Structure 1
Amino acid sequence: MSVSRWWSAAAIATLFGTSTLPLFAGENELTESEKRGGWKLLFDGKTTDGWRNYKKDNISEGWKVQDGTLVRADKGAGDIVTKDEYGSFELSIEYKITEAGNSGIMFHVSEDGGAPWHSGPEIQVQDNVKGHDPQKAGWLYQLYEPKPGFMEKTQPDATRPAGEWNQMQIRITPAGSEINMNGVRYVTFTKGNKDWDDRVAKSKFAKMEKFGKNTKGHLCLQDHNDVVAYRNIKIRELPDNGIAKDPVDGKLPLVSEKAFPNLKWAGWEPETESGQIRPFRTIFLMHSGDGTNRLFAGEQWGQVFAFKNDQAATDSHVFLDLRKKVQYADNMNEEGLLGMAFHPKFKTNGEFFIYYSTKDAEHTTVVSRFKVSKDDPNKADPASEEELIRFPQPFWNHKGGTIAFGPDGMLYIALGDGGAGNDPFGNGQNLSKQLGKILRIDVDHKDAGKAYAIPKDNPFVGNKDAAPEIYAYGFRNPWRIAFDSKTGTLWCSDVGQNLWEEIDLVEKGGNYGWNFREGLHPFGAKTPPADAKLLDPIWEYDHQVGKSITGGNVYRGSRIKELAGKYVYADYVTGKVWALDYDEEKKAVKGNYSIPSNGLPIMSFGEDEQGDMYFMGVAPDGHGIYRFKAE
């Protein structure tokens, strides 16, 4: 407990005059995704409706609404509680504390004790720099505190300084609970299990009969005699299993079916010589754009297969075999053969490009040019490989991997931040590094010392502190990117860290925020510079809906009219599939629709020459390509 202080009007003015943090989701408003996902506002930015003092019918004058925030402003304000009670829920709340200030957020509070904290566990709110309480902000008071993470030697402190906004995301359910501070996972726990009971028994709450026993109760904001402001207070009630409502407007009358059900992969066997199961991992599927109506399927272990785009097809052949060069292992499954792009003039020049993890250097990826065999147009010439660029990376994950030609004829390369978690080297925002970026290069010309040229209109050409290949930055792990074949817009699905998955429309020179933020939400202790212009995602969904986005493309085929003009995407972990209807001109989401699926992990999407869409997954029997059809 901190020393009591009474704050003057000047202190309140200071509290509201020092923040440079951007408004990540609009003050006291729900995003389109939140509206569809069951979130509700607990504070409208104008009134104290929905709140009252503990054991009172009304709220005291010590709590005031100022500049769209709910402020504990004057002495005698008292603890306040929600008028409603909540059992299983998720709470998102932003706070701004004064220097050395202290407050708290409690849950499952009942009014049959002497004080709210006699029944409701408290999540600490304080200034971690000059605060006097050893229990830091974001800790579950005397019960759970964060432990050092990967590459960390001390406890994480993801709070931003006094006078700046911080965001907490809190989930409480019987299935499991968690506290996240500015997007960083602090603690996970299960209320009422043995570990919980053991910790309570060792705390100052041990003799409080009601402490932590309620399974439903009020939320409480603590008056600790210090000025503190709250805003963007949002809640979503959850079922006890913690699975949230899908943020959708409806369901499309479609089902999935296996595509090319009789197709066999030349030379592939479902078991290794030692008897181990070796599923077929279709990592990409594409056409060559040369009018031959062929499809090319990449298998993550290092082979590209070609076959006729015919649902009755039975035979395939190996177009390119790079298994001796490609590094892949199941325990590092974000490496391997990851991307392929055919040159826009492939029909005449026979060139295509491959992105893969190489065996000749640990955790390193390369982009190489290949050519079709002079003797056989159905086979590539492995000896024609010309390495264009390589990317040493610190870890095995977050490789990105899509390479694609834009309507401008340039090759775009999507790269993750280098891996691990939380972007430990800050690559996403470091313009001198190529990781965490989308690059743009000219493969038809060569600059001195390079196997490619830098387009003169790239946004950071001439900036001595930036890699000139960079087209856009601030990405965690773009999986995947795709150009709309009609409009030329570049779509990117970026995999999130702990809480949010996002979809971006990529602009030249754009900064998409990682690791200052995850989706629309603050991440970590670093505040973006005052002049930072972070571009918002057009859509996001949270980790109670899915946990790892797989980007597809805007459907421009004619076979499935329900998908026309919609961006189709999925979640790898849950197997859910959606279609996002977005109005680029109005910059507004018109609708997000679920597509019934088989629930299998979806690794990637593909497209044939007619614009029809496919999605792929890991298949022990080799039949891992699917397509949609009318219900």
Structure 2
Amino acid sequence: MHSNLSHRLFLAVMTWIAAFVHIGIVVAQDRPAPANTSNAWDQGWKILFDGETTAGWKTYGSDKPIVGWEVINGALVRNHSGAGDIITTDQYDQFELEFDYKISPGGNSGVMFHVSEDAPYPWMTGPEIQILDNAHGKDPQKSGWLYGLYQPTKPKWVARVEKQANIPSPTIPDATRPAGEWNHVYLRVTPNQGELLLNGVRYYRFHKGDNDWNNRVRQSKFSAYETFGIGAEGHICLQDHGDRVAYRNLRIRPLGVDGQLTASPRAPLQIATTPAFTRLRFAEMSTETEEGKIATIRPVAMQETPAGYFLVALQQGKIIAFANSPSAEKIIDFLDLSDRVADYRKGNEEGLLGLALHPQFKTNRQLFVYYTAQAPPRRSVISRLTFNKSFAFTANRTFTEQILLEIPQPFANHNGGSLAFGPDGYLYIGLGDGGSQNDPLANGQNKNSLLGSILRIDIDHTDQEKPYAIPQDNPFAGQDDARPEIYAYGFRNVWQLSFDTKTGDLWAADVGQDRYEEINRIVRGGNYGWRQKEGSVQFGGEVVSAADSGEFIDPVWQYDRHHGRSITGGFVYRGEKLPELQGHYLYADYVSGNIWALGIPKLHPTVRAEQLTSNQIPVIAFAQSALGAAFILTEGVPANAFYRLQRMETSKTDSAP
């Protein structure tokens, strides 16, 4: 909201005392979380408010000292009438800005950017993020809206899938927490695109200065001010609207003109990706699709058998096999499940998603798969496939399918699908929260739902009417308020999980919403936070008590949108050919194509993940051979769908004499 003098004076007289009593006590009791700049994944931020003084701020349009804004227990509080608007002494062009705010009941304030001192009021020059008590505030422009210009919108794809699933959510999202509670705002402003997230929920995107922006300005009250929104840089402003408001953890991260971090990344390790099986070919009859295009594959899981063959699950619903040899040529159409597997082209995250060999595969010939069913209703299926005794990789294969679990899925996305056997012999299953966005059914924190969890089941025994048993030491076994299959929960979309072959630790990557991608070390009964947290920060409008917040387990590593948008989990490397990677967790990002190694033995906030190669590959999955060699799986023709990691050779010109 944009202030005027009479409104300020009225509110100062009528509500100042009540607001002071309410929010003053809360601020005094609620210690702020420090703005974290020590973590290696969180570099480049500049503190705008040190939690102790008003250094770095000045009164708008005046050189007089700041009055009416006070530092109370680490928060910058508009504490007295007539305080006035304050701005940063420095100016910023393209940047990321984030802060926490706490508004008083019925209160109103604002945070502006690209502000100049060329007008009587800052809102005449810089766009404003509205700060409001949505429940009792009198302004129709709600908190987080870009005042008079942009309001939260539900993506069209979300509206479509929610309508199909008959699971409605509000047309205009409201992720705010009530007056007296801390809320978090993230703002990104670049020449290419801007966006705002409130409590982790994306509200809108904008492009300052494009046709859409200019049309909105022309239709708003700001069209009367020639100075509005024209500056490519300016101050950050905190508005005094006559109401008590507190801010903390204000920090800014300058960006380059391309919208990326200005700091130069370290040189990648001298590890290269190289095609692993360059001679692989389909049989002549299957080299083209029905449309006459070269057939590609989407491998999602790969495991080596005792006979030295790789079995590869393709999202298309097939399993292929080939020899673990660089000279391998022949692809064996090992198994075709496409008659029961959903077409991934209709739902990008559906299809055949997981594969795991029974630890005794050599003798019992059992293979486990995870797929989304083709026939309605929409559901995920975990099955045991048992092959005939005389089967061979080249011929004479028949199998029986035993469905172990069928899990209803409300939406097509966030299916998870990763399968892995632990050193205890139990089968672990990674699931997503059921889909759409923001976990609309709150499955992540619902232990009565299998969604949003990692399951652990005993597939060698049965239990009552189930074709599997519940391990006695499962954390929720025997409890009435939880599914006994759950081993850990609070996940958005696990992709993928793996066990450290040396320590037995379980690792899982969790795909984030709009801020952070996660790597988690999984413990029995652990709650990993979603949808009340994304990464290490709170998410959504639910108020989380200190006791509940302490229950959540933060990721051991996370990264933001400067590094990627969709994590692909790998495994802890224990091979011998690349000793520099020994004990490092390998992972990648499907969107950015970057591949990293995270040192596990020395995990510390200052430790950095090492980028392995400057080559960018949309990694779908990782795999390892029986001897620990690392492979990377991506979409492509077979000869270009599998890569291995190897040390880069130093050319003679680079060698020391």
- TM-score (normalised: structure 2): 0.90
Q: Following superposition of structure 1 onto structure 2, how do residues 117-516 of structure 1 map, counting pairs within 5 Å?
A: 117-149=123-155, 150=159, 151-244=168-261, 250-266=267-283, 269-288=286-305, 290=306, 292-378=307-393, 382-516=398-532
What secondary structure does 1:626 align onto? strand
Using a 3 Å threshold, how does the CA distance of structure 1 residues 521 and 457 change in structure 2: closer, same or farther?
same
TM superposition shift of 1:353: 0.8
How many angstroms apart in 2 are the aligned matches of 1:23 and 1:447? 49
How many angstroms apart in 1 are the aligned matches of 2:240 and 2:41? 29
Which of 559, 572, 595 is the equivalent residue of 1:577?
Answer: 595
Contact 1:247 1:592 in 2 (8 A): no
Instruction: State the aligned residue count.
Output: 626
Structure 1 residue ranges without an equivalent (≥5):
none
Paired letter, 1:358: A
Paired letter, 2:496: R
The answer to which structure has the higher helix fraction is 2
CA RMSD, Structure 1 to Structure 2 (Å) = 2.4
Using a 3 Å threshold, how does the CA distance of structure 1 residues 499 and 590 change in structure 2: closer, same or farther?
closer
How many angstroms apart in 2 are the aligned matches of 1:147 and 1:133? 19
TM superposition shift of 1:234: 2.0
TM superposition shift of 1:245: 5.9
Deviations 1:333-370 (A, max 9, x none): 21111111112222332222111122233432111112
How many angstroms apart in 2 are the aligned matches of 1:89 and 1:342? 48
Using a 3 Å threshold, how does the CA distance of structure 1 residues 266 and 446 change in structure 2: closer, same or farther?
farther
Match of 2:655 in 1: none
Match of 1:609 in 2: 626
What secondary structure does 1:499 align onto? coil
TM superposition shift of 1:10: 7.1
Contact 1:64 1:71 in 2 (8 A): yes
Contact 1:54 1:81 in 2 (8 A): yes
TM superposition shift of 1:266: 4.7
Match of 1:64 in 2: 70
Match of 2:101 in 1: 95
Match of 1:113 in 2: 119
Match of 1:27 in 2: 34
What secondary structure does 2:339 align onto? coil
How many angstroms apart in 2 are the aligned matches of 1:589 and 1:202? 49
How many angstroms apart in 1 are the aligned matches of 2:221 and 2:287? 59
Contact 2:16 2:244 in 1 (8 A): no
Contact 2:275 2:644 in 1 (8 A): yes
Contact 1:33 1:247 in 2 (8 A): no
Larger CA deviation: 323-332 vs 76-85: 323-332
Paired letter, 2:102: K
Contact 2:273 2:644 in 1 (8 A): yes
TM superposition shift of 1:571: 0.9
Match of 2:164 in 1: none
Contact 1:512 1:536 in 2 (8 A): yes
Paired letter, 1:217: G
Larger CA deviation: 81-90 vs 277-286: 277-286
TM superposition shift of 1:319: 2.8
Paired letter, 2:35: N
Contact 2:583 2:601 in 1 (8 A): no
Using a 3 Å threshold, how does the CA distance of structure 1 residues 221 and 53 change in structure 2: closer, same or farther?
same
Paired letter, 1:374: K
Contact 2:38 2:606 in 1 (8 A): no
What secondary structure does 1:306 align onto? strand
How many angstroms apart in 1 are the aligned matches of 2:582 and 2:396? 34
How many angstroms apart in 2 are the aligned matches of 1:245 and 1:345? 52
What secondary structure does 2:222 align onto? coil
Deviations 1:75-118 (A, max 9, x none): 23221111111111111111111111111010001112211111
- TM-score (normalised: structure 1): 0.94
TM superposition shift of 1:23: 8.9
Contact 2:569 2:621 in 1 (8 A): yes
How many angstroms apart in 2 are the aligned matches of 1:245 and 1:331? 39
How many angstroms apart in 1 are the aligned matches of 2:504 and 2:23? 46
What secondary structure does 2:609 align onto? strand
Asked if 1:545 corresponds to 2:563, the answer is: yes
Deviations 1:295-315 (A, max 9, x none): 222211122222222112222
Match of 2:91 in 1: 85
How many angstroms apart in 2 are the aligned matches of 1:274 and 1:355? 28
The percent identity for this pair of structures is 46
Paired letter, 2:320: F
Using a 3 Å threshold, how does the CA distance of structure 1 residues 17 and 609 change in structure 2: closer, same or farther?
farther
Match of 1:14 in 2: 22
Match of 1:593 in 2: 610
TM superposition shift of 1:182: 0.9
Which of 46, 49, 59 is the equivalent residue of 1:53?
Answer: 59
Using a 3 Å threshold, how does the CA distance of structure 1 residues 339 and 23 change in structure 2: closer, same or farther?
farther
Using a 3 Å threshold, how does the CA distance of structure 1 residues 107 and 363 change in structure 2: closer, same or farther?
same
Structure 2 residue ranges without an equivalent (≥5):
160-167, 649-657
Larger CA deviation: 7-16 vs 561-570: 7-16
Contact 2:111 2:130 in 1 (8 A): yes
How many angstroms apart in 2 are the aligned matches of 1:276 and 1:362? 32
